[in-house]
Structure 1
Amino acid sequence: MTVVSSHNDVENLTLIFTAEFDTNVDRVWQVWEDPRQLERWWGPPTWPATFDRLELRPGGDARYYMTGPEGQKAHGWWKVLAIDVSKRLEFDDGFAGEDGEPLDLDDTTRCVVTFEEDGGLTRMTSVTTFTSVEQLERMSEMGMIEGMTLALGQIDGILAESTVTY
């Protein structure tokens, strides 16, 4: 099923994706919690991600990079703000230098992901909030909407595999 809707709301400076998965919420949560599963979908297929660090707890950090088709690397970071396992994840996201450290703390987005289970189906909603219209437009021009749609589209394949325990 995957992405059922996306909405670019310039007035509220948000980009909203809703995806549905034919499995329970705990299994969907695993694709965020396990860095090896997260790597398989966080970037679009032509820009796969590698997570060097994933501390999924309030105050925790993530450091990652996505590798482009010609070997170029785009580095990013997260600061986890809040977490309610299998229900809600909130983090700031931004660009990083080659060392994985944030480039500009004023050029971040806030992402809130919620998970709801309804009769064995899980709805995952991701709301990214931007600091300005200019930032939203710049990220849209960089292909964020298409990239996130393609990235989310990879989750079904991961979920079809057996549940991973670690």
Structure 2
Amino acid sequence: MPVIDINADTENLTLTVTAEFAAPIERVWHAYSDPRQLERFWGPPSWPATFLTWDHTVGGRADYAMTGPHGERHRAYWEFLEIEEPHRFSVLDGFSDDEGKPNGDLPAMRMDFTFEPTTDGTRMVTSSRFDSLEALEQVIAMGVIEGTRMAMSQIDAVLRDLREYAEGKGTTVEFIDDTHISITRLVNGPRDLVWRAYTEPDLIKQWMLGPDGWEMTECEVGLKAGDRYRNSWAPVGDNEGEPFGFEGEMLVVEAPRRAVQSERMQGTDGPDILSDVNFYEEDGATLITVIMEFPDKDTRDGILATGMTDGMEASYQRLESTVLAGESVA
């Protein structure tokens, strides 16, 4: 976890975040000055940021939006006040409306980012200054402290070469909290093709099968928010097991970057599970990150105990050996 301290100073009206990275100062600066890299961690899991404009000059402005797992969308902006590469920059950070105009009902703050080299890498200190105690308390109540910790936990994957970070590790599960997990898998193939493999029924049926001995008997996809989907599986031949399936609704679709869906076992009243799938490509490989949200810890543990992770790994291996290897792409 890069964050080593978050301090809210109600006397001086500041919120200070201290983090340390195992990367040189130039690499950390690049992550904060490239919007495509910055949006991979400027927002907690399930609330990723998308930078809509980017003018990285003094007096310039960057507009961004964070989209939640149910399609909620919050707009914000940076106005660049000072830039001294690679040691510091300052911005006015505020919320905005759908047209990008500042939202006066929510607090704005000055944020000062400083970077300094250390023996093992780089230390960053971010100090946010507020106009009033009410404004500081408002952003704390909005969850900025925990959100910052969760957002910064994603930066290690950004600072390291993607293949070095994830190749050969298979399907990896990380516990975020009692009701959220993160599942990652690096696959060797471009993002556009991986997206097709997730959204075209003829391709889905060739790889999304779990362990050997199963087939997909039904595949109805949803391609936009509000669409319903339905998938079913059954054992092949004499293999043991009962047919089963999932169904649900697409909540967010941002091709080819992100798809969020609710899902529940067919023929039941739930519980509903949220599956937030994100795709990032680098050097011809695509990192698939699945954030799953469960209604409670018992549901989380029960689903993991079914062998879900092993089934996903078998499917991803099949994805690489068929669709991404070019054996079954029309």
Deviation at 1:40, TM superposition (A): 0.3
SS in 2 for 1:98: coil
Distance 1:122 1:20 in 2: 6
> Which sections of structure 2, spanning at least 5 residues, go unmatched?
163-281, 283-330
Please, what TM-score do these two structures have when normalized by structure 1? 0.93
1:38 aligns with 38
Quick check: 1:4–1:20 contact (8 Å CA) kept in 2? yes
1:57 aligns with 57
Quick check: 1:33–1:56 contact (8 Å CA) kept in 2? yes
SS in 1 for 2:100: coil
SS in 2 for 1:78: strand
Deviation at 1:64, TM superposition (A): 0.4
Once structures 1 and 2 are overlaid, which stretch shifts more, 144-153 or 72-81? 144-153
Distance 1:29 1:105, change over 3 A: farther
Distance 1:91 1:105 in 2: 19
Note if 1:97 corresponds to 2:97.
yes
Cα offsets for 1:74-107 (capped at 9, x unmatched): 0001110000011001000101011122122993
How many equivalent residue pairs?
163
Runs of 4+ off more than 6 Å? none
Quick check: 2:107–2:139 contact (8 Å CA) kept in 1? no
Cα offsets for 1:110-137 (capped at 9, x unmatched): 0000000022410011000111110111
Quick check: 2:95–2:106 contact (8 Å CA) kept in 1? no
Distance 1:32 1:104 in 2: 26
* Residue identity matched to 2:39: E
Note if 1:152 corresponds to 2:152.
yes
1:119 aligns with 119
> Which sections of structure 1, spanning at least 5 residues, go unmatched?
none
Distance 1:29 1:50, change over 3 A: same
* Residue identity matched to 1:20: E
Deviation at 1:55, TM superposition (A): 1.3
2:130 aligns with 130
1:107 aligns with 107
Quick check: 2:25–2:115 contact (8 Å CA) kept in 1? yes
Note if 1:15 corresponds to 2:15.
yes
Give the CA RMSD over aligned residues: 1.6
Once structures 1 and 2 are overlaid, which stretch shifts more, 2-11 or 100-109? 100-109
Quick check: 2:55–2:62 contact (8 Å CA) kept in 1? yes
1:140 aligns with 140
Distance 1:92 1:107, change over 3 A: same
Deviation at 1:41, TM superposition (A): 0.4
Distance 1:47 1:107 in 2: 19
Note if 1:69 corresponds to 2:69.
yes
- Looking at CA atoms only, which structure, 1 or 2, has the larger radius of gyration? 2
Distance 1:46 1:86 in 2: 30
* Residue identity matched to 2:137: E
Quick check: 1:115–1:122 contact (8 Å CA) kept in 2? yes
